Chain A
Amino acid sequence: VSTDAESFVIPAAPDLIPDGAWTKVEGGVCAAKGFKATGVYAGLRASGKKGDLALVVADAPAVVAGTFTQNVMCAAPVLYCKDVLKRRKTVRAVMTNAGQANAATGTQGYEDSVACAAALAAALGVEADDVLLQSTGVIGRRMKMEAFLPAIPQLPASLGATTADAHRAAVAITTTDLVSKEAALRVQLSSGATVTVGGMCKGSGMIHPNMA
């Protein structure tokens, strides 16, 4: 895997967060305490050398919630995550690949998701159910497991909690996106404690979400 800077050089999206009782801060998914992230180039894309494998890890079990497409033809990682969330209220990691959507790949696709989650769980020293997955890319094509599986054990070594680490993750989940999309904000609770929320997303086409 590679974290070469040139694999992660795309412009950032403009700040489009509405104004309110919060302060915008830097750091994306790493802005909140207790999280590390990374993005690497693992050779999963059909072409180009842009980052294509991202990982967000919580230092300790994190309370989890998810919303998922209601498309009947949903992808294997969607099915996998929904299965995990039936059993778990906390997880440790979310791994996202670009290149192949792992959709319309049948039983083989689901088994590939399970294998990826198991490999990451082993690399992080957690249980397989501590891992959630996301995929994006071409539909109906098997993931490049020959590149994917060897890359996974190398991911933890590149984890970090800096803005740059979060940015690499944000770029590694993009497909046809022309910009990376990440944001974070800080809000003070009535009790006086300060809470930070950060995030990243991707999307440019095939966009009409209807999640539940």
Chain B
Amino acid sequence: TMLGVVTCDAAVSPEVWTGIVKRASVASFNSITVDGDTSTNDCVIGLASGAAGNAPITDPASKDAQLLDAAVTALMQGLAKSIAWDGEGATCLLEIEVTGAASDADARVIARSVAGSSLAKSAFFGHDPNWGRIAAAAGYSGIIFDQAELGVRLGSMTLMKDGQPLAFDKAAANKYLKDTCAVHGTVQVFVTVGKGPGKGMAWGCDLSYDYVKINAEYTT
């Protein structure tokens, strides 16, 4: 289960605040996955006290509304990423960035499909730069794209381009994963699916032996 409480001292109308919390939740908590299991209790509650003394924000298109929107989204993304970082048994945080989709929503769906792939997650735990599992997870996301436009980059290393695997330095890619997991760091995966304007991110973690151990011993 994920639970969140967000507090804010801006003076903001209920309508604007509701929109901000909704959009921020989608771009943060709804963009993480640890094990693909949606809880019975997931909930984010946002409270705005108005104690900052600013002129009330009532126009969602105003500059102040957009600043507040960006700030709340950033805060919630930081919190959401900490959940993925602390995923049961995790040795790393996975950050998947998708570009070139038809829309931001499409990009987020593809990104979370990759972040949630048990095979891709297992590969990351084994420090295996397995571009095929990443490509497959993007492909079954439900979002249509031209496979001849798929690109995959792991950290700074390009593994696939224009739908074709490249002759990358596997030892270096393996070392990138090993070194990152050794410090419980962030593994970055970049996926390109075309030339559309849509971009989105999702976060997850690797799948380790400990995940099974924890959930075999802990009752939910």
A interface with B by C-beta (< 8 Å): 13-18, 20-22, 29-35, 56, 58-60, 62-71, 73-75, 77-78, 81, 89-91, 94, 96, 101-104, 132, 134-139, 173, 175-179, 181-185, 187, 189-191, 193-211
Contact = CB atoms under 8 A, between A and B. Distances in A.
A34 B12 CA distance: 14
A178 B33 contact: no
B33 A101 contact: no
A13 B77 CA distance: 13
Contact of B40 (A34, A139, A179): A139
A-B pairs with lowest CB-CB distance, top 3: A34-B49, A17-B78, A203-B2
Interface in B1-53: 1-10, 12-14, 17-18, 20-22, 25, 29-30, 32-53
B76 A199 contact: yes
A12 to B, nearest CB: 9
Given A67-B44, A195-B54, A201 B2 contact: yes
B40 A103 contact: yes
A32 B8 contact: yes
A165 to B, nearest CB: 12
Contact of B5 (A15, A69, A193, A199): A199
B5 A56 contact: yes
Given A13-B86, A185-B71, A196-B8, A205 B81 contact: no
B131 to A, nearest CB: 24
Interface of B: 1-10, 12-14, 17-18, 20-22, 25, 29-30, 32-55, 63-64, 67-68, 70-72, 74-88, 93, 116, 211, 214-215, 218-220
Contacts of B53: 193
A141 B7 CA distance: 30
B21 A67 contact: yes
A17 B29 CA distance: 13
Contact of A184 (B3, B36, B75, B219): B75
Contact of B88 (A20, A89, A176): A176
A33 B43 contact: no
Contact of A209 (B32, B47, B64, B81): B32
